[in-house]
Amino acid sequence: MSGVSDSATRLLTGLTDATADRPDAVRVGDDALSRERLLGAATAVADRIAGAPAVAVDAQPRIETVVGAVGCLLAGVPLVPVPADAGPVERRHIVHDSGAALWLGDPRDEVDLPTAPVDAHAASGTAYREPPADATALIMYTSGTTGPPKGVVLSRSAVAADLDGLAAAWDWTPDDVLVHGLPLFHVHGLVLGVFGALRVGSRLRHTVRPKPEAYAAAAGSLYFGVPTVWSRVCNDADSARALRSARLLVSGSAPLPVPVFDRLAELAGQAPVERYGMSETLITISTRHDGERRPGWVGLALPGVETRLRGEGGALAPHDGQTIGQLEVAGTTLFDEYLHNPGKTAESITDDGWFRTGDVAVIDPGGFHRIVGRESVDLIKSGGYRIGAGEVEQALLGHPQVREAAVVGLPDADLGQRVVAFVVGEVTSPEAVMDFVAQSLSVHKRPREVRVIDQLPLNAMGKVQKKQLMELG
Of 348, 374, 400, which one is at a domain's C-terminal end?
374
CB atoms near residue 435 (< 10 Å):
12
**290-333 per-position pLDDT tens digit:** 999 999 899 999 999 999 999 988 899 999 999 999 999 999 99
Domain count within the chain:
3
Q: Is the pLDDT of residue 376 over 70?
A: yes
Question: Could you tell me if 365 and 223 lie in one domain?
Answer: yes
Question: Could you give the 3-state DSSP secondary structure of residue 203?
Answer: strand
Q: Which of 15-19, 176-180, 249-253, 340-344 has the lowest mean pLDDT?
A: 15-19
- How many angstroms separate the most distant Cα atoms in the chain? 73
Report if residue 363 sits inside a domain. yes
Between helix 227-234 and helix 258-268 the angle, nearest 10°, is: 50
Mean pLDDT within 385-408? 87
**167-186 per-position pLDDT tens digit:** 999 999 999 999 999 999 99
Cα–Cα distances (Å) from 255 to 263, 276, 284, 362, 463, in that order, read 15, 9, 15, 14, 9
Cα–Cα distances (Å) from 422 to 166, 296, 333, in that order, read 35, 20, 35
Q: Look at the pTM and tell me if it is higher than 0.75.
A: yes
**119-160 per-position pLDDT tens digit:** 999 999 999 999 999 999 999 998 755 568 899 999 999 999
Question: Could you tell me if 233 and 302 lie in one domain?
Answer: yes
Range of the domain at 178: 6-194
Question: Could you tell me if 367 and 387 lie in one domain?
Answer: no
3-state SS, 222-259, equals: EEEECHHHHHHHHCCHHHHHHHHHCCEEEECCCCCCHH
DSSP 7: G
Question: Could you give the 3-state DSSP secondary structure of residue 408?
Answer: strand
- What percent of the chain has a predicted confidence (pLDDT) above 70? 95
Estimate to the nearest angstrom the gap between the alpha carbon of 198 and the chain centroid.
18
Question: Could you tell me if 135 and 166 lie in one domain?
Answer: yes
Per-residue pLDDT at 19: 65
